[in-house]
Amino acid sequence: MDAPVTDPVWLEPYPDRWLMDDLGPSPEARYEQRESVELAFLAALQHLPPLQRAVLILREVVGFSAAETSSQLGTSVPSVNSALQRARATAADGLPARSQQSTLRALGDQRTREIVERYMAALERGDADTLVSMLTEDATWSMPPIPTWFRGLESVREWLVRDPLSVRWRHLPARANGQLAVGCYLFDSGRDSYAPAVIDVLTLEGDRIAAVTGFLTADTLERSDAGAWVPGAEVFARFGLPAELP
């Protein structure tokens, strides 16, 4: 386990299907917009200052103009343009050599489906060996908004066995933040069905998983501020996923 994250940097996962609705069938437009979402997502995880983070999201993901962004944030257009320029530079310095879009294209649809299916099946079987074999040596696993996170195979494996693999899950594939994702449903004995609990966003390095960012819903938070987070059914509906599984 690594030191807790104390800065409130987390974004909610952004459904790729919203991009499809906005952009239509053009593969080039979808590719470019997914890369913009990926850039913004990575930048947020790299602790951009609040103004730069907000400007990057509103301009690069939501698609607001500089004037609309300045109105939303209560600042000037020059300030917005300056913040965007600095945010892009900071994000670019920390980007991996290969974007997720390039990685997914190189792997192809069949191979990426196989990765997601194997990941889901291993979680449902409680198969720590298979899960760990899918990770890179320095893989990380985080669970926004919980500040605790894990890095490295030994640390991740210990936590998997102790916590998520000790309960029952079902899963459905999704796409979020321009990346592969999985909708994770946790068994609820009270209603004898599986409730929407987590959206896992998978960051690949080649055909291995370099990071899992598990965005928790309000249903999974045992915290005093859980009411500030979105209920699972509402989050999953954004991805076209059902409110529960039998």
pLDDT of res. 230: 74
Average pLDDT over residues 171-178: 90
- Torsion angle, CA of 42/211/241/33, rounded to 10 degrees? 30
Q: Which helix (H) or strand (E) holds 135?
A: strand 135-143
Residue 185 clears pLDDT 80, i.e. is over it: yes
Q: Within a domain: residue 9?
A: no
pLDDT tens-digit series, residues 2-35: 444 444 344 567 676 665 555 455 666 555 555 5
**What is the model's pLDDT at position 6?**
40
What is the rounded distance in angstroms from the CA atom of residue 196 to the CA atom of residue 115? 21
Which of 41, 75, 94 represents a domain boundary (last residue)? 94
Indicate the range of 190-194, 210-214, 216-220 predicted with least confidence: 216-220
Is 215 inside any structural domain? yes
110 and 78 belong to one structural domain: no
Looking at residue 4, its pLDDT comes to: 42
The CA-CA-CA angle for residues 11, 12, 13, to 5°, reads: 110
Last residue of a domain, one of 94, 118, 137: 94
Is 243 within the bounds of a domain? Answer: no
Indicate whether 223 belongs to any domain.
yes
Is it true that the peptide bond before 145 is cis, omega within 30 degrees of 0? yes
CB 115 within 8 A of CB 180: yes
Using alpha carbons only, how large is the chain's radius of gyration in Å?
18
pLDDT at 104: 87
Residue 158 and residue 207 in one domain: yes
Tokens 């299916």 belong to residue: 117
Same domain, 175 and 199: yes
pLDDT at 233 over 70: yes
- Please provide the size of the chain in residues: 246
Answer yes or no: do 88 and 104 share one domain. Answer: no
102-146 pLDDT, tens digit each? 888 899 999 999 999 999 999 999 999 999 999 999 999 998 777
Predicted local confidence at residue 9, as pLDDT: 41
When pLDDT is cut at 50, 70 and 90, the band that residue 168 belongs to is very high
Higher-scoring residue by pLDDT: 154, 35: 154
Per residue in 42-88, pLDDT tens?
Answer: 555 555 777 887 887 788 767 789 999 999 899 999 999 999 998 88
Q: Is the pLDDT of residue 171 over 70?
A: yes
Lowest model confidence (mean pLDDT) among 167-171, 228-232, 239-243: 228-232
Within 8 A by CB and 6+ apart from 72, the residues are 58, 64
* The total number of structural domains that make up the chain: 2
Question: What was the pLDDT predicted at 225?
Answer: 47
Q: Calculate the alpha carbon distances from 233 to 109, 202, 242 in Å.
A: 28, 21, 7
